[in-house]
Structure 1
Amino acid sequence: MNKLELFELPNFRGASTCLEGDQSDLSSVGFLQRAQSLKVCGDPWIVFTDVNYNAQFKAFVEGDYSSLSGWNKAICSARIVSGGLDEFQITLHENANYKGKSVTLTNQADSLKAYGFNNAARSQNKVIGAWALYSQENYHGMHKVTLTDDDIPNYQSANWGFTVRSLKPVTP
């Protein structure tokens, strides 16, 4: 069973809540920006400092984290990484709806120009693991995290507000 247990205080004390699936807004379970320790059972989880899986992020693998060093009272949303963080793959497409040039990556890319893209990718599929995708080269600008099986036919329609110019696997 996969779960993320969040605790209000360090050392697994105080009120707690247990997640067994993605949670886009921890206020719905009364735990927005409250966690100061956590436990992961099963597959890894990625937590975010804003709702809807936005802003800063951090991956946690199976284990007990008695303190969150720099992440105290910061977690606002969380996603489970089905299948883990041991294998990474993503297929990017130059145009929306999986059209145009495509490239399947298993490692980071500081620029998609090296793959013959006309500056950026606009859709993705065949995702394994977790990836951080950036609006600018060299992992700068706006970013989003995408996980296993997140097929996105059009970044603009998905309200990303940018096309992808660089990306790298998310590791703990």
Structure 2
Amino acid sequence: MSKIILFSDANFAGKKVELTSACEFLGTYGMNDTVSSIKVQWNVYEHANYKGQRHTLKPGNYPIWTDWGGANDQMSSVKPAPSITVYADANYCGKKLEFSTACGFLGDYGMNDTVSSAKVVGGVWIVYDDAYYRGASHTLRPGNYPMSSLRPA
């Protein structure tokens, strides 16, 4: 499961809060406008209720606010960033690709009509039978799907 770990001080020090789901107001955890370092793959927002400047953080560690382009002690809400990994074979095997944004044509990556399984880390994804968001669409659920394009919902 995807999680975000927030720290009140730089270099992963001070108060620590671990979250596995969205939080529209970090004050609930005593962390409103006090975050200085992060370990994550999530979207972080300057204001409560997912307002203000958004920063999408890729997997990794952010020992100080300048590493994610934010400002010290100015974070008030967080939620998982859309992320999906698609696999050429069933059971999460074979060639794999990771996406955090829409992909109109999986053929650009050599995987048109070859995806057989996927793992969603964050967000809800819509998959399509044909390229460029055409054909039948399906909300991704665990299982195997033929896909030619995808996007976060």
Q: TM-score range by the shorter chain?
A: 0.5 to 0.7
Aligned to 1:39: 39
Identical aligned pairs, as a percentage? Answer: 24
**What is the TM-score of this pair, normalised by structure 1?**
0.49
Give the 3-state SS of the residue equivalent to 2:83 in structure 1.
coil
Is structure 2 residue 152 aligned with structure 1 residue 148?
yes
Give the 3-state SS of the residue equivalent to 2:11 in structure 1.
helix
Quote the Cα distance in structure 2 between the aligned partners of 1:127 and 1:60. Answer: 22
Kindly indicate whether the alpha-carbon contact (under 8 Å) linking 2:45 and 2:76 is maintained by their aligned counterparts in 1.
yes
Q: CA RMSD in A?
A: 2.6
Counterparts of residues 11-50 of structure 1 (less than 5 Å): 11-40=11-40, 44-50=41-47
Aligned to 2:135: none
Q: CA deviation at 1:87?
A: 4.8
Quote the Cα distance in structure 2 between the aligned partners of 1:80 and 1:37. Answer: 17
Unaligned runs of 5+ in 1: 91-104, 107-124, 129-146, 150-172
Counterparts of residues 86-165 of structure 1 (less than 5 Å): 86-89=99-102, 148-149=152-153
Q: CA deviation at 1:88?
A: 2.7
Q: CA deviation at 1:81?
A: 1.9
Kindly indicate whether the alpha-carbon contact (under 8 Å) linking 1:25 and 1:51 is maintained by their aligned counterparts in 2.
yes
Change (3 A) 1:87 1:47: closer
What is the CA deviation profile of residues 45-98 of structure 1, one whole-angstrom value per residue up to 9, with x for unaligned ones? 0000011101101011111111011421011001102425725339xxxxxxxx
Q: Which amino acid in the other structure matches residue 88 of structure 1?
A: T
- When the two structures are aligned, how many residues end up with a matched partner? 96
Change (3 A) 1:127 1:77: farther
Give the 3-state SS of the residue equivalent to 1:27 in structure 2.
helix
Bigger CA radius of gyration: 2
**What is the TM-score of this pair, normalised by structure 2?**
0.55
